[in-house]
C-alpha cells in the first residue's frame, strides 16, 4: 500500500489517507480481504499521529470500505461492480466540486471547461 501525504494541501491528513486507500480499492490495488497496516504501523510509516490514522480507519469503516476485527486487524470489504462505479464517480465529483469554483473565479464558462476537459481526456 502506497500513501503520500502532502502537507501543502489544505485537506486534512486523515482525508488524504482515506482518499488514497479508497482510490486503491477502486483501482483494484486493494482487494476484498486484504489487511491494512495497523493504525500504529501506518502512523509510524507516514510520520503522522496515531489519532490521525485512527480517524481515517474509523471513517473508512463507517463508509463501508473496511471492517475491523478486534485483535485481528482492519480488512478491505468486498465491493460489487456497481458500488465501485459509484465510488469512482464520487471521487470525480469531489474533484469537480473543488475545481469548478476556480473556473468561475477566472470566468471560465461551462463550454470552455467542457472543451478543455475533452482535450485533456483525448490526450491521456
The average pLDDT across 4-8 equals: 93
Task: Please give the residue that has the higher pLDDT: either 83 or 5.
Answer: 5
pTM to 2 decimals?
A: 0.71
Beta bridge partners of 68: 74
- What confidence score (pLDDT) does residue 91 get? 81
CA 65 from centroid of its chain's CA atoms: 11
Q: Where are the domains of the chain?
A: 13-76, 82-123
CATH code at 13-76: 1.10.10.10
Placement of cell 476485527 in the chain: 69
pLDDT tens, 57-115? 999 999 889 999 999 999 999 877 777 788 778 888 988 999 999 999 999 999 999 99
Q: According to the model, what pLDDT value does residue 4 have?
A: 94
Q: pLDDT at position 44, please?
A: 97
Amino acid at each position: 500500500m502506497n500513501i503520500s501525504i502532502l502537507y501543502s494541501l489544505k485537506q486534512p491528513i486523515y482525508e488524504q489517507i482515506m482518499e488514497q486507500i479508497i482510490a486503491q480499492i477502486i483501482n483494484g490495488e486493494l482487494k476484498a480481504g486484504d489487511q491494512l497496516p495497523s493504525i500504529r504501523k501506518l502512523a509510524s510509516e507516514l510520520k503522522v499521529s496515531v489519532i490521525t490514522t485512527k480517524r481515517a480507519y474509523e471513517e473508512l469503516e463507517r463508509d463501508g470500505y473496511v471492517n475491523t476485527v478486534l485483535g485481528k486487524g482492519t480488512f478491505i470489504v468486498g465491493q460489487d461492480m456497481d458500488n465501485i462505479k459509484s465510488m469512482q464517480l464520487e471521487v470525480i465529483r469531489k474533484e469537480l466540486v473543488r475545481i469548478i469554483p476556480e473556473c468561475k473565479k477566472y470566468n471560465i464558462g461551462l463550454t470552455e471547461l467542457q472543451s478543455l476537459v475533452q482535450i485533456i481526456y483525448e490526450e491521456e
